Structure 1
Amino acid sequence: MPEEAAHAPRTPLAARKETPPAPLPEPFVAELRARLGERFTQNPAVCAQHGHDESHFPDAPPQAVAFVTSAAEVQALVRAAAQHRVPLIPFAAGSSLEGHVLAPLGGVAVDFTQMNRILAIEPENMLATVEPGVTRTQLNAALKETGLFFPIDPGADATIGGMTATRASGTNAVRYGTMRENVLAIDAVLANGEPIHTGTKARKSSAGYDLTRLLVGSEGTLALFTAITVRLHPLPEAVAAAVCPFPTIGAAVHTVIAAIQMGVPLARVEFLDERAVAAINRYSHTEYPETPTLFFEFHGSESAVAEQIELVKTLAEEANGGPFLWANRPEERTRLWAARHKAYFACLALRPGCRGTTTDVCVPIARLAEAVEAARRLIDASGFIAPILGHVGDGNFHTLILVNPDDPDEIARAEALNEAIVTAALALEGTCTGEHGIGLGKKAFLRQEAGETAVAAMRAVKQALDPLGILNPGKIFE
């Protein structure tokens, strides 16, 4: 959700009365300093920078940071960590909302920001291979002259490695899919330091277990990525954006459901409730009507886009929505989507000094209106400021519960509200996380959703690939 990092101070790990980790073994430190030089550091300020993200969890800095620049360095680091049983936590943009980059057990943050080379662009195969520290905007800038683009847009200028690790999706997923559909192959280092290559450049394969899909969404717990091959898509001939207010949440969501059921190939469709719209009006100096609102984007030929706009406009009017305002000039589209991408920080500004506890449920599209309206009732009963927004084209929506990070009672009540929203979504055959991942905060929800037998199977995979438990410990499982 967030477009950029803007970290507010939070309670350091030491203040949480947890047992501090044992010091890093001296032979391990000596080996890493000899190999990486100044790129291996135990500087407290650098460690602190790598011990927070955009989640509401207290800061948990690592004991050291290793800035890696090559696959060979990653292998050497992992082998040393395995020998001395030192936890490794992958880090890049730091925009996680589920505590993925925090180090509650200490260890070393593996900073991939210097592994940011684009290794190959193959327009004829419509794919690119990149190192994990490449950001999505960096990749799209490199694709500018090819007529292709990489469509996955989680809002943050996240790295391809982080997006792969969390199985990210975002605003374009309704048409172009998630990282699951757009990653073809992965080069990685296993927990024993051995390199592994999964997948091929072919568009399909039936060769054995699908290890690529296993690693996509593994949240840094099974391997550390060193290169990723992704699908590219043709730039559309025509693009248009639209915004349309509605009298109620139900009217807006039912319009989306109707459009999808009629086969309209929406490129993006984003929902903001009246509180979220009010927030972006204040933050981005826009003047949208402060009612439940849909933001659309349409891709295709000129005639196809015109047809899509007319059909969706008709559906919106039938739901008493309007006025339906659309634009096809790039600067107008950019202004519209810039406001949407800044919604996270706009909502935080509704309560200065707060942190956001973010829900991430996703439900079958036919149950979407029911789920959003249930979330609104729970929020209203709670007394929290909690705007609702999300990628409703694929049934995924978020509530941003604004909490005082220094008030334990308030945090507990926010977590109870989060749990109630998740429970309601699971009752509608949905999931606790559509795109943010499990991380630190959703481990109990994973058991509730998947069941103990399925979670035990996941643990068995983790144990097989990382028997020492050194890769991002504490995430997904206790």
Structure 2
Amino acid sequence: MIPLSDSLQTELRELLGPRFSTTAAIRDQHAGGGMHLPPLPPQAVASVESLDEIVRVVRACADHGAPIIPFGAGTSLECHVGAPRGGVCMDVSAMKRVLRLSPEDQDCTVEAGLTRIALNEHLRHTGLFFPVDPGADATIGGMASTRASGTTTLRYGGMRENVMALTVVTPDGRVIRTARRARKSSAGYDLTHLFVGSEGTLGVVADVTLRLHAAPEATSAAVCAFQSPFGAASTVIDAVQCGLPLARAEYLDAVSMRAVNRAFSTAYAEADTLFLEFHGSPEEVAHYAERARSIANENGGGAFQWAIETEARNELWKARHNAGFATLSLRPGARPWSTDVCVPISQLARCIETTKRDIADLPFPAAVLGHIGDGNFHVILLVDPESANERITAQRFNDRLVARAIEAEGTCTGEHGVGLGKRESLRHELGEAVMLMRDIKRALDPRDLMNPGKIFLPDEAA
């Protein structure tokens, strides 16, 4: 790791004042290790507040050959924002303005540091909302960079479908706008979706133009327990295949439900469980819910536990969103290792059942939960951080899970991204296509200064 030059530090201090820091405490807050990977703090943190400051920091770092690691909320799970080569972490979380809102066009442009909850609060009186919900209150720029999705992807899509354009600062300090606001275009390369999911390896996202959606007239939610993971998965598969427009379809296994009950003093059945939500007119919601109840009954589901009022729905989804953290109560002192895969929905039930058999042989607890309406599920392994044997066992389990998903024509990560943690898995999944990604990276960032070490192995990015 090459030390940051005194001249670079002086230049950035003059630009940012106290918003440029080399103190250990600030650097450690931006180390981004993820749940199972070690923290990798940068050599300095630069907190920017405008597009102009992003440009000037990028150009200064480029002039001195210093790596740049874009940073939003720091919620990434595969060490996307760690600094294996040191450098300057560029924190954009103070850039949180809504730059433009066009209700008649159902779109808006926001700075990269705005969080999804803050955006929806801003939209609250417009009749519109931004639907992508990964659980954490992530920044919009970070969600674009990791191609985030979440609980509502089944109906509204993820960031891939809802990002219309980006303003990006390239590694040499150029400012580019990837697209206009037209709902469709055949003009040139699709640069927007080149940067969506690039994990900060191709440039710094400064602002994002988003597609918005009409807030539903009526919403209802339900919880339903099943006798097996196959019954729960089959219910979602059958509902999707018959065209039922589920807004959310979330799965928690019996272990997850036990953790939720313990953490939130709830009394859900400790069984394989679906959390469902329906959007539409009151008549549509009632019709969708009845059809879903009938399909669930055919697959061994129990009675629906309804949550129609806003407060009750919020409590229900609070339990779902925090289920991952709730699992920590099952083994105090454990370090969680959260991994995810995504498979074609026709392969989902078999993949979950096989995964559950693998879990039964583990020497530590593990929970399964996920957005199974689009084939995506997560496994949280509760590993003793002091046990080398448990870490090795967890890695082998993860490798088998990824191999199983890829064999089923799925992917090694549905929404966590690649970062440092799944670089080898990406090669297993896409093979020679990764070399083409490497060529794009080299063309845009020949010195490998933008978020180095992520997606590509060290010998590939050089």
Structures share fold, TM-score greater than 0.5 = yes
Q: Report the AA paired with residue 292 of structure 1.
A: D
Counterpart of 1:150 in structure 2 is 130
SS of residue paired to 2:306 = strand
Q: Report the AA paired with residue 452 of structure 2.
A: P
SS of residue paired to 1:406 = coil
- Kept in 2, the 8 Å contact 1:186–1:229? The answer is yes
Give the total of aligned pairs: 457
Between stretches 26-35 and 290-299, larger displacement belongs to 26-35
Q: Report the AA paired with residue 71 of structure 2.
A: F
SS of residue paired to 2:342 = coil
- Kept in 1, the 8 Å contact 2:129–2:213? The answer is yes
1:305-454 equivalences in 2 (<5 Å)? 305-451=285-431, 453-454=432-433
1:73 and 1:296 map into 2 onto residues whose CA distance is 44
Selected match of 1:224 from 170, 190, 204: 204
Q: CA deviation at 1:30?
A: 1.0
Selected match of 1:275 from 247, 252, 255: 255
Matched, 1:87 2:67: yes
- Kept in 2, the 8 Å contact 1:284–1:339? The answer is yes
- Kept in 1, the 8 Å contact 2:32–2:80? The answer is no
- Kept in 2, the 8 Å contact 1:189–1:226? The answer is yes
Q: Which runs of 5+ in 1 are unaligned?
A: 1-20
Matched, 1:139 2:119: yes
1:223 and 1:352 map into 2 onto residues whose CA distance is 40
Matched, 1:466 2:441: no
SS of residue paired to 1:266 = coil
1:44-193 equivalences in 2 (<5 Å)? 44-193=24-173
1:373 and 1:199 map into 2 onto residues whose CA distance is 43
Q: CA deviation at 1:53?
A: 4.9
1:234-253 equivalences in 2 (<5 Å)? 234-253=214-233
Deviations, residues 377-416 of structure 1 (Å, cap 9, x unaligned): 1111223311000000000000001112232222121111
1:304 and 1:97 map into 2 onto residues whose CA distance is 38
1:199 and 1:345 map into 2 onto residues whose CA distance is 38
Q: CA deviation at 1:108?
A: 0.9
2:407 and 2:363 map into 1 onto residues whose CA distance is 23
Between stretches 120-129 and 350-359, larger displacement belongs to 350-359
Matched, 1:37 2:17: yes
Selected match of 1:302 from 260, 266, 282: 282
SS of residue paired to 2:219 = strand
Q: CA deviation at 1:349?
A: 2.2
Q: CA deviation at 1:52?
A: 3.0
- Kept in 1, the 8 Å contact 2:339–2:416? The answer is no
- Kept in 2, the 8 Å contact 1:53–1:94? The answer is no
Q: Report the AA paired with residue 425 of structure 2.
A: F
Counterpart of 1:4 in structure 2 is none
1:218 and 1:291 map into 2 onto residues whose CA distance is 38
Q: Report the AA paired with residue 162 of structure 1.
A: G
Q: CA deviation at 1:417?
A: 0.5
Deviations, residues 207-247 of structure 1 (Å, cap 9, x unaligned): 11100000000000001011100000000010000000000
1:106 and 1:375 map into 2 onto residues whose CA distance is 37
Q: CA deviation at 1:328?
A: 1.2
Counterpart of 2:272 in structure 1 is 292
- Kept in 1, the 8 Å contact 2:307–2:316? The answer is no
SS of residue paired to 2:247 = strand
Q: CA deviation at 1:281?
A: 0.5
Q: CA deviation at 1:324?
A: 1.2
2:183 and 2:256 map into 1 onto residues whose CA distance is 40
Selected match of 1:255 from 235, 245, 248: 235
1:28 and 1:414 map into 2 onto residues whose CA distance is 42
SS of residue paired to 1:257 = helix
- Kept in 2, the 8 Å contact 1:53–1:95? The answer is no
- Kept in 1, the 8 Å contact 2:363–2:390? The answer is no
SS of residue paired to 2:96 = coil
SS of residue paired to 2:380 = strand
Q: CA deviation at 1:368?
A: 0.4
SS of residue paired to 2:186 = coil
- Kept in 1, the 8 Å contact 2:201–2:441? The answer is yes
Q: Which runs of 5+ in 2 are unaligned?
A: 458-462
Between stretches 427-436 and 380-389, larger displacement belongs to 380-389
Identity of aligned residues (%): 53
1:404 and 1:462 map into 2 onto residues whose CA distance is 37
Q: Report the AA paired with residue 33 of structure 1.
A: R
SS of residue paired to 2:410 = coil
1:400 and 1:40 map into 2 onto residues whose CA distance is 36
Q: Report the AA paired with residue 467 of structure 1.
A: P
Q: Report the AA paired with residue 189 of structure 1.
A: V
Selected match of 2:192 from 192, 209, 212: 212
